[in-house]
Amino acid sequence: METRTHLFTFPIETDSDRTAVEEALGKLSAELALDHELRLKGGHKAMITVPGVGPEETWSALDRAVPDWQQLFLPRSAV
């Protein structure tokens, strides 16, 4: 079974919300040294899949790369 983590955004209502999430995903991708940058797909409450990376590593990288992630993504315990 392939390791992966799912992140969920708060509802994206404006272009600036979408831009902020996309920038955060770019930073997370770089922090995790992923081969492909994580992208936000359509949907009001989007789910982002982080392939090949377990939850602990993903959340630690998110803490390092995006200090204000709590404004963009649902907390791990809420998922």
Which pLDDT tens digit goes with each residue over 3-15? 899 999 988 889 9
Q: Are 69 and 23 in contact (CB under 8 A)?
A: no
The alpha carbons of the chain give a radius of gyration, in whole angstroms, of: 12
| pLDDT number for residue 1 | 54
Q: Does domain 4-78 have CATH number 3.40.50?
A: no
Q: What is the DSSP letter of 79?
A: -
33-76 confidence digits (pLDDT tens): 999 999 887 655 688 999 999 999 999 999 999 999 999 999 88
Alpha-carbon distance 2 to 46, whole Å?
A: 21
Handedness of CA 78, 46, 29, 64 (dihedral sign): negative
Q: Which two tokens stand for residue 72?
A: 């963009």
- The predicted model scores a pTM of 0.88
